[in-house]
C-alpha cells in the first residue's frame, strides 16, 4: 500500500498513542513543575490503577464505572502514601535531586515486582462490551474505544488547564512552582499544595492506567515502559511544562507511528529516544521553549 493511503491511518494511530503518552506525561510534568523532581513513580501509579481496575472488573465482577472510581481512589491513596513515606522525609532532610530521582525509579520498579508477586507475571486482558466496535471510513479504521480515549484525554487536558489557570489551587501551585520562598511568605503551605498535586497527578495516572490496560494489555512492567515515553514527551515538550508534556506526547505518538512505516516497529523506542537526544543537545528548552532550571 502506498504511503499516501495509509498515512491517515498512521496519523490516527499516532493520535491515539500520543493521547495516552500525553496523559502519562502530564502527571509527570505536573509534579516536576510544582514539587521539582523527576516523578518516575507516576508509572507505578499507572500500573496500580490498571491492575486494581482489573481486580474489581474481571476478578470481582463489579460494574466498570464503579471499578474505575475505586481504582482511581486507590491510585490516589498510593500516590499520597509514597509522598508521606518517601518523598516528604527526603524533602525534610533537604535531599537533592538525585535521591528523589533514585527513590522514584525504585518505587517504579517496586510496583512491577509487587504486581508480579500479587497477580503473577503473565499478561492480563481487560475487555468491555462494545469496546472493539469498529468504525471504517475508506482505508481508515478506528474502534469506539479509541475514539473514547482521544475524547477523554482532551477533556482531562482541558480540566487540568482549568484547575491550573482558573482556580485558587492552581494559582497556589503556580506560585509554588515559581518561587517556593515567596509562596510561603504569602501564606501558601507547600506540603498541602504538594498533596493536592500528587492527588491530581494520581487521578490522571489512574485513568491513563485504565485506558492503557484496555487498549493494550496488563503486564507488571507496563508502568516502566509507559512512563519512559511520558518522560521523553515531557523533555521534548519542555521539561517542567504541563502544556509542553501534552504537545510532546502527541508529537512522540505521531512520529513513532509514522516512523514505523520506515523502520521495524520494535525500533519505536529508539526513534523517540533519538529525538529526545537531539532536543537535549540542540534545543534543551523543548518545543514550547520553557527555560531550563539554572543550576548556578
Partner 1 sequence: MITDFFISFSTYVIIYIIIVSSFNISFGFTGLVNLGHMVFFGIGAYTSAILTLHGMPWYFALILAGLFTSLIGAAIAAITVRLKGDYFQIVTLGLVFIAIAISRNWISLTRGALGLPGIPPIIKDNFNYMLFTFLVCVICLAFFYWLTKSETGKIFQAIRDDETAASILGKNTYFYKVLSITISTFFAGIAGSLFVHFIKFVDPSIFDLDFFVIILTMLVAGGLASITGSIIGVVSLAITSEALRFVVVNPELIGPVRHMSLMLILILILIYRPRGILGKVNV
* Residue choice 231, 242, 247, 290 for contact with partner 1 (CB under 8 A): 231
| Residue 155 binds partner 1 (CB under 8 A) | no
Q: Which of 60, 66, 117, 127 binds partner 1 (CB under 8 A)?
A: 117
Cα–Cα distance measured from residue 206 to residue 49, given in angstroms and rounded to the nearest whole number: 4
| Grid cell locating 31 | 509534579
How many angstroms separate the CA atoms of 200 and 198, rounded? 6
Residues 226 and 138: their CA atoms lie apart, in Å, by 31
Altogether, the residues listed in the chain come to a count of 296
Which of 61-69, 106-114, 122-130, 172-180 is the region at the interface with partner 1 (rule: CB under 8 A)?
Answer: 106-114
Q: Using the rule CB under 8 A, which residue among 195, 267, 285, 288 binds partner 1? A: 267
Please pick, from the candidates 5, 63, 81, 113, the single residue that binds partner 1 as defined by CB under 8 A. 113
Q: Which residues contact 62 (CB under 8 A, 6 or more apart)?
A: 56, 70
Q: CB-wise, 160 or 235, nearer to partner 1?
A: 235
Residue entry with cell 521523553: 232
- As given in the structure block, the three cell numbers for residue 129 are 462490551
Residue 265 per-residue DSSP state: G
Q: Which residues pair with 278 in a beta bridge?
A: none
Q: How far is the CB of 295 from partner 1 (least distance, A)?
A: 6
Nearest to 124 by CA among 52, 74, 51: 51
102 in contact with partner 1 (CB under 8 A)? yes
- Which CB, 82 or 146, lies closer to partner 1? 82
* Total number of residues that touch partner 1 (CB under 8 A): 45
The residues of the shown chain that bind partner 1, judged by CB under 8 A, are: 38, 86, 89-90, 93, 95, 97-99, 101-103, 105-107, 109-110, 112-114, 116-117, 120, 224, 228, 231-232, 235, 239, 264, 266-270, 273, 276-277, 280-281, 284, 292-293, 295-296
Amino acid at each position: 500500500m502506498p504511503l499516501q493511503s495509509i498515512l491517515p491511518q498512521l496519523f490516527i494511530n499516532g493520535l491515539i498513542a500520543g493521547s495516552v503518552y500525553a496523559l502519562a506525561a502530564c502527571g509527570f510534568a505536573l509534579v516536576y513543575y510544582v514539587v521539582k523532581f523527576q516523578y518516575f513513580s507516576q508509572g507505578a501509579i499507572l500500573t496500580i490503577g490498571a491492575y486494581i481496575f482489573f481486580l474489581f472488573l474481571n476478578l470481582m465482577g463489579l460494574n466498570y464505572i464503579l471499578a474505575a472510581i475505586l481504582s482511581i481512589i486507590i491510585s490516589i491513596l498510593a500516590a499520597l502514601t509514597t509522598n508521606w513515606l518517601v518523598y516528604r522525609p527526603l524533602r525534610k532532610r533537604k535531599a537533592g535531586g538525585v535521591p528523589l530521582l533514585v527513590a522514584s525509579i525504585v518505587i517504579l520498579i517496586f510496583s512491577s515486582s509487587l504486581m508480579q508477586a500479587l497477580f503473577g507475571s503473565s499478561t492480563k486482558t481487560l475487555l468491555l462490551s462494545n469496546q472493539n466496535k469498529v468504525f471504517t471510513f475508506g482505508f481508515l479504521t478506528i474502534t469506539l474505544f479509541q475514539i473514547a480515549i482521544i475524547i477523554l484525554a482532551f477533556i482531562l487536558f482541558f480540566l487540568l488547564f482549568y484547575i491550573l489557570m482558573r482556580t485558587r489551587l492552581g494559582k497556589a501551585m503556580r506560585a509554588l512552582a515559581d518561587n517556593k520562598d515567596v509562596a510561603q511568605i504569602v501564606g501558601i503551605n507547600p506540603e498541602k499544595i504538594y498533596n493536592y498535586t500528587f492527588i491530581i497527578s494520581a487521578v490522571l495516572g489512574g485513568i491513563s492506567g485504565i485506558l492503557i490496560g484496555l487498549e493494550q494489555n496488563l503486564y507488571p512492567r507496563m508502568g516502566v515502559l509507559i512512563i519512559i515515553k511520558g518522560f521523553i514527551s515531557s523533555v521534548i515538550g519542555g521539561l517542567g511544562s504541563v502544556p509542553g508534556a501534552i504537545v510532546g506526547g502527541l508529537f512522540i505518538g505521531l512520529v513513532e507511528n509514522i516512523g514505523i512505516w520506515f523502520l521495524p516497529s520494535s525500533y519505536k523506542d529508539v526513534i523517540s529516544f533519538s529525538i529526545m537526544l537531539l532536543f537535549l543537545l540542540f534545543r534543551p528548552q523543548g518545543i514550547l521553549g520553557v527555560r531550563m532550571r539554572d543550576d548556578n
